[in-house]
Amino acid sequence: MRWLLMKVVLLLGCINMCACTKDYPNDIPGWVKDRIKRCKEPFRDCHGLSVKEFQGLGATWYYFREENGTDELYTVGASLVCNGTDMFVYEDQCQAVVLDSLHQRRTIWVEH
């Protein structure tokens, strides 16, 4: 009986640990984590949001893209640099920073 109880407790502990694991890296800025957490809320639709991290021009950038084509590019400090559609090809305010001049470091998160 004790053996069975120990197995049940161990199983519940493993399930609890798996349920609490994050599906995004821990070393990203807090504001990026907060946006991902909001998208993970029940009944919340972020339109297939994907978050990618880019390097280039001496900085780190965070790129948010929704399936509908909406794009946003932020600095590490949460300053919105560009927003538009179709990877900023036609956005005047984004002439200085285009994704072609940046290198993708990693995909942070994708809404499923």
- Residue 12 in tokens: 């519940």
Q: What is the mean pLDDT of the chain?
A: 80
How many other C-beta atoms lie within 10 A of the C-beta of residue 88? 22
pLDDT confidence of residue 18: 43
pTM, two decimals, is 0.74
Asked if the model's pLDDT at residue 5 lies above 80, the reply is no
- Model pLDDT for residues 22-64, shown as the tens digit of each residue: 688 999 999 999 999 999 998 888 999 999 999 998 999 999 9
Annotated domain spans of the chain: 24-110
* Strand ranges inside the chain, DSSP E: 50-56, 59-65, 70-75, 80-85, 103-110
Spatial separation of the C-alpha atoms in residues 10 and 4, rounded to whole Å:
10
